[in-house]
Structure 1
Amino acid sequence: MTTILFELGCEELPPKSLKPLRDALTSSVTEQLNAAEIGFAEIVAFAAPRRLAIQIKDIADKQPDRSEQKRGPAIKAAFDADGNPTRAAIGFAKGLGIEPSELTTINTDKGDYVGYEQTIHGKATAELLPEIFQTALDNLPIAKRMRSGASKEEFVRPVQWVVLMQDDAVIDATIQGHQTGKQTRGHRFHSPDYRDIDHADNYEALLEDARVIANFDKRQMMIANQVKALATEVNAQAIVPEALLDEVTALVDLPIALRASFEPRFLQVPQEALISTMQADQKYFCLTDDAGKLQPYFIFITNIESRDPAQIVSGNEKVVRPRLADAEFFFLQDQKQPLFALTESLKTRVFQEQLGTIFEKSERIAKLAGFIAGLLQQNGHTINIDETVRAAMLAKADLTSSLVGEFPELQGIAGTYYARLNDEPEAVAASLEEQYLPKFSGDALPQTPIGICLALADRLDTLVGIFAIGQAPTGSKDPFSLRRQAIGILRILIEKQLPINVVALVEQAIKNYNSGETQKVAKMGETFTQVMAFLNSRYRAMYTEQGVSVDTIQAVQAINPHMPLDFDQRIHAVQHFRALPQAAGLADANKRVANILAKSEDKPSDAVDTALLQEAPEQALYEAIEQAKAVTAPLIDDANYTQVLEQLAQLEAPLTAFFADVMVNSEDVALRRNRLALLSQVRALFLTVADISELQM
């Protein structure tokens, strides 16, 4: 058992790609070693700005030997009547490099054949590794590769050196056009010269001595700890987004955290703008107090251990000041006119060529948001419809502001700041930021009633409009993010517990497109059908992500509920039902009932005639049905679908007995139609919740 070390030294690797490259390299090497049946204890991966490395510990020296059975011609063809080998047997043996006398007999169900048990000796690990590592490098997820100088080898960055060692010895090979060796390089500034690696086990320690923390995770932990300590010194908390932490970790070999500051006057600017410019442009970690309010400090990570850190701090403060001043200028410039005045500029900004301007969209959103506000009022929510309409007309105003022009990610957020400065009602101001929620899968939802109305209205207007002009998503193309927007609609209606029929919302959105002088939705019925089908298709994507089985979703979709909250309640009821002991039997029974009713040429009677219930099992089933009707009726009215299915589970025994002892397709027409009526009532009871026959138990 030995240790293998592989290191690829490069010019600085793309920081956003470093961690994915490390993981892909490790995964590929692991898969290839397993496929080659080469045993090892563990793989340790390293990734720093100028290197990718793999250390394989306790790896086997060679592949294990294996036996392989070779089958030749049939016995009859291999030997003549005297038992002498024929040309077929001699040729087969010669191909294996053995004498015909060494052949054995292989017995199969198709007859006897000559054969040979051949031992294949495993190759040495050192012989296989160069190809394994080269294959792993070739398969890395690199969008665009480059060539360096006259070399024909391609990689994401020019390769400078390659190390491949087994313990203290070099494995001689050529990888990425470079001869392998045992020399590595340390920190570009603190230890730039080549260093010999005395043993593969000492790789990490040697680099640390050369001022390089090669282990990505260790380097990241050092950064996180240093940032936290510096933040604590000023009674603050650091904002540390995972993506930013990964990127900063990939930028440095030797992480040294320093804290700097900026003038408190900049704090009058929306803190989202300040945070955005410091994170995106400078890769700084911003600091806030316990309430989340930005503090006049930031932390940055330097790649050198300076003798005069104050000079580095001062330099970073000089760099960030103009960026913050720009944000301040845009913020003050926008305040020279009220937010509502900015809506005039929306009249010249196109939402979509066929669907008009953003101002026209705002007018449609206002109508739809007011309609939704009315529905919320009916459901007991406190909401001001006039304020809702006002908020909708202001919702897109900040798109023409200087601040959003410079920081597009502040759309909605800037509007909220300006609305508060203009003394708009707080309910109006807060909703402007919430209109864009949720922004991504798992994101927070709008909290205020007006914010909910705007978020729904905006998405529904876009959804209907894009379908109306025939630009529905196809395959992987979804330029208007309609799939995400549709799931956003469903999430809001479900998670906010809003018993609103989505049919009414889609119909109103379509009417709004045709309420002006121009009729933008020519085929209203077709658009309605397509939008509803699209929304229904999103249930599957949404619930499968939550771990709900596809057949559970199909069981609910089969009855086509139009209220997302109601759909969700049915999903949870069916999931609960699946765990009941009667579930499998009832699912099969429902399939049988559905098939019988579908194939029957007779129409079931309108009602069950008790006088025609001749058999004891059908009488018992009828009584069970009547009892189930009485018990479930109030539960259905309360949408308590879980208890409905629990009650209907009691039908499993009488239904099983019915099918065992009663002939449904009796020759007596009256009996047959009466029994079909009985089964029809069973099916109708279950369809009050879902089509249980869809379940694959």
Structure 2
Amino acid sequence: MAKDVLFEIGAEEIPAHYMPGILAQLKTLAETKLDEHHLGYGSLRTLGTPRRIALLINDVEDSSADIHERHKGPSVKIAYNENGEPTKAAMGFARGKGIDVNDLVVEDGYIYAETTTAGVAARDILTEILPQLITGLSFPKSMHWGNLDEKFVRPLRWLVALYDTDVLPITFAGVRASNSSRGHRFLGKKEILIQHPADYVKNLEDNFVIVDQDKRRAMIEEQLHAIADEKKATIVWDEDLLDEILYLVEYPTALCGTFDESYLTLPSAAVITPMKDHQRYFPLVDAEGKLLPMFLTVRNGDAHSLNVVQAGNERVLRARLDDAKFFFNEDRKKALADRSEGLTRIVFQEGLGNLADKTERLLALGELFGEACGLGEDDMVALERATVLAKTDLTTGMVTEFTELQGVIGKEYALLDGESPEVAEAIFEQYLPRFAGDVLPKTAAGRVLSVIDKVDNIVATFSRGLIPTGSQDPYALRRQTIGILNILIDSKWNVSLRPLLREAMALLNVPAEKSDELLGQLEQFITLRLKNIYLDRALPHTVIDLLLSNPLTTVAMAEGMAAAIMKDRIDQNTELVQAFTRIYNLVKDMEFVAVNEELLKETAEKELFEQASAAYEASRTALEEEDYVKLVGTPDSLVPAINQFFDAVMVMDKDEAIKQNRLQLLRLTYETMAVIGDVSTLK
């Protein structure tokens, strides 16, 4: 008879941002362990609050399934002698499989051992695997406590392990499992007896713990929106903030607080940031999108004395906003343009000068890259001005106190200083994208400034030998590189990063003898990030390798060719791949110089020369016009002439001049594929 299982790990408050990953890990681990032990079950889910991680498994079978296996052994000739008696090989094989030699089966000239492994009781399997689920979880940071060797994300305080109504004999970190859980820290019982896994959710809810995170989320959303509707306001919604609040409370009760309207004279970001990032409050706006002197938050408890909780939250926010107001007033005594001197006192990276030095580098990089991207005069002027002001907000009190406002406050102060909207927007956009899925810069100046700022960061860090390895990336170079690539993809600028990388190395005084090696490391790092972007899109590996095999391919070219290849699927064109692979094997180490028409003797080579010359010009024109469908389709048009050439012409002619001329003809032919990529990647 199928039974239910409950496994609850009780701990001190777990960091909210760890919880989604922990619950996902637990679910995957449990499914894997159950499958490994062939233990059937109906459904499985994970639940969690700040103080507990729980696993509920419904309809677990009484035992694992019997395992029937058929093992192939040696051939009959080896297994039996001429008298039909089993040899040592057969007896050893049977003994190894735990069966009698007479039970071996002969089939297709081989012997087979058919074995059956009896199922194991579910209780025994669960007793074995549940502790493994604890040790199998990984966290950004783990803890030891007391004098224990075991570690966990936070000190473990209780365990519940129920198989139907029976407690499983599990112990971890000195805590023995029971059927006793705990309610809300202040509102519930200190001990709650769980008679059966099916009672778990209800037992906890009766003790002010909404253990189902989906139900808790729905409660929070419903309560927040109900208050907002009552106030005739709209919530400045933030899913990340909701995710964090979700794992800060066990029993959510939303409330509305207010603050003095005088704080609304501050830039909106200076009010919203202390609310969201520091106090975890939701701001409210009116029908026109203007910030209101109100906020929403969620307490971990019921509605008792809610006015006291509201007053406490208002008091804390008021202190934060007073700080913001003070810093704002002090900052406004000096314009951004007058803050450049302060950049000399902020170190960029060890041994690489200060932010004033970085600004000078960015000005040089901006001029080079802006022109390469085809920016007009107005955009170049905006780019230069934005670059001069880009880092000046880092000298302000507001950014010193609220570091997440870098760029944001720069934009606000620039507008207050009378700078153009284009310059102000570029100051903000230099840091975009800030995280996966973030918006990308939209202004031309902002895009260029974002790219050159990230390139300078990456090259500077690489030049110090601090290349990310494994999971270690303290300077977030992978994120910044992906940001550069996404900007180039979004802008469709057909521009190479190589000149920009070389200029950045020169400005950072990288020794000439090390520049080529460093450039190779940088390009490899960038190429791998682009490969990951394409893998996330589920592009075939062969297509990705083809696109990235040509070092001269820009991001825009790779994008265009990727779309064209997925439409034409030249990677699956066997005749094309075979034809160009034959050429590749002959000319892969050659450079195209010229073909001497006077040395073309055979009709097949003359026809190939005529078609290859036309295809070469067509592919170059298609590349210049960014007609990637035509570019990708051109090589296929040469396949019949290539096959005819190899059928009729001896490439390795005894006459060295004719031989070299034919190899040059093949190299000319291969150029239509080489501009796309290395055909050997499609083997």
TM-score bin, normalised by smaller chain: 0.7 to 0.9
Aligned to 1:678: 665
Aligned to 1:691, which of 654, 677, 680? 677
414, 419, 431: which one aligns with 1:424: 419
Question: Displacement of 1:635 after TM fit?
Answer: 2.7
Structure 2 distance, partners of 1:678, 1:211, is 81
User: Structure 1 stretch 58-67 or stretch 139-148: which is displaced more?
Assistant: 139-148
Map of 1:60 onto structure 2: 61
Q: CA deviation at 1:401?
A: 0.9
Once the two structures are superposed, residues 392-417 of structure 1 have per-residue CA deviations (whole angstroms, 9 ceiling, x without a partner) of 22211111111111011111222222
**Partner Cα distance (1:79, 1:667) in 2:** 61
Alignment of 1:380-419 (within 5 A): 381-383=376-378, 385-419=380-414
Tell me the distance in 2 between the aligned counterparts of 1:465 and 1:88: 65
Distance across 1 between alignment mates of 2:85 and 2:658:
80
**What's the C-alpha RMSD, in Å, of the aligned pairs?**
4.0
Q: CA deviation at 1:136?
A: 0.8
Q: What residue number does 1:517 align with?
A: none
Alignment partner for residue 637 of structure 1, among 604, 617, 624? 624
**TM-score in terms of structure 2 length:** 0.86
Alignment of 1:18-29 (within 5 A): 18-29=19-30
Taking the aligned partners of 1:211 and 1:359, their CA distance within structure 2 comes to 56
Q: Distance in 2 between matches of 1:544 and 1:52?
A: 33
Which has the larger displacement, 545-554 or 201-210?
545-554
More moved, 70-79 vs 265-274: 70-79
2:211 is matched with: 214
* Of 134, 137, 155, the match for 1:137: 134
Query: Structure 2 matches for 1:164-183, cutoff 5 A?
Result: 164-174=161-171, 177-183=174-180
1:126 aligns with 2:113: no
**What letter corresponds to residue 356 of structure 1 in structure 2?**
G
Deviation at 1:61, TM superposition (A): 0.5
Conserved 8 A contact 2:534-2:544: no
Give, in whole Å, the separation in 2 of the partners of 1:576 and 1:157.
Answer: 52
Partner of 1:190: helix, strand, or coil?
coil
Return the letter of the residue paired with 2:578.
D
Are residue 523 (structure 1) and residue 511 (structure 2) matched? yes
Q: Does 1:597 align with 2:590?
A: no
8 Å contact kept, 1:278–1:286? yes
The answer on whether the counterparts of 2:272 and 2:283 sit within 8 Å (CA) in structure 1 is: yes
Rg (Cα) greater in structure: 1
Partner in structure 2 of residue 34 of structure 1: 35
For structure 2, list consecutive stretches of 5 or more residues without a partner in the other structure.
none
State the shift of 1:525 in Å. Answer: 6.3
Q: Aligned ranges for residues 210-359 of structure 1 at < 5 Å?
A: 210-289=207-286, 293-359=290-356
**Contact 2:595-2:665 within 8 A present in 1 as well:** no
> Is 2:614 aligned against 1:613?
no
1:92 and 1:595 map into 2 onto residues whose CA distance is 48
443, 448, 464: which one aligns with 1:448: 443
Structure 1 portions without partners, runs of 5+: 514-519
Distance 2:512 2:570 in 1: 43
Distance in 2 between the 1:446 and 1:674 partners?
Answer: 51
CA deviations 1:619-639 (Å, max 9, x no partner) are: 553453355356555434313
Greater shift in the superposed pair: 675-684 or 389-398: 675-684
- 2:285 aligned partner, one-letter code: T
Asked if structure 2 preserves the Cα contact closer than 8 Å seen for 1:587 and 1:695, the reply is: no
Paired residues in the alignment total 678
Moved more, 259-268 or 464-473: 464-473
Q: 8 Å contact 1:612–1:674 — kept in the other structure?
A: no
More deviation in 552-561 or 221-230? 552-561
Deviation track 1:527-574 (CA, whole Å, cap 9, x = no partner) reads 266236513541332243233445434434444326543444344444
Cα drift, residue 139 of structure 1 = 1.6
Structure 1 vs Structure 2: percent identity of aligned residues?
Answer: 32
* Structure 2 CA distance for partners of 1:685 and 1:400, relative to 1, 3 Å: same
Contact 1:78 1:86 in 2 (8 A): yes
TM-score, normalization by structure 1:
0.85
Deviations 1:369-406 (A, max 9, x none): 24444455xx3635254543332222111111111110
Contact kept? 2:251, 2:301, Cα under 8 Å: yes
Amino acid corresponding to residue 45 of structure 1 in structure 2: T
Query: What SS class does the counterpart of residue 348 from structure 2 fall into?
Result: strand
In structure 2, C-alpha distance between the alignment counterparts of 1:89 and 1:555, rounded to whole Å: 51
1:486–1:535 contact (8 Å) kept in structure 2 = no
Paired residues for 1:524-539 under 5 Å: 524=512, 526-527=514-515, 530-531=518-519, 534-535=522-523, 537-539=525-527
Structure 1 94/322 Cα, relative in aligned 2: closer, same or farther at 3 Å? Answer: closer
Letter of the 1:13 counterpart? I
Quote the Cα distance in structure 1 between the aligned partners of 2:256 and 2:366: 46
Preserved CA contact (<8 Å) 1:552 1:694 = no
| Counterpart-to-counterpart distance in 1, 2:605 and 2:228 | 76
Q: Distance in 2 between matches of 1:567 and 1:225?
A: 46
Q: How many angstroms does 1:440 deviate by?
A: 3.2
1:585 paired to 2:575: yes
**In the alignment, is the contact (CA less than 8 A) between 2:255 and 2:299 conserved in 1?**
yes
- Aligned partner of 1:545: which letter? I
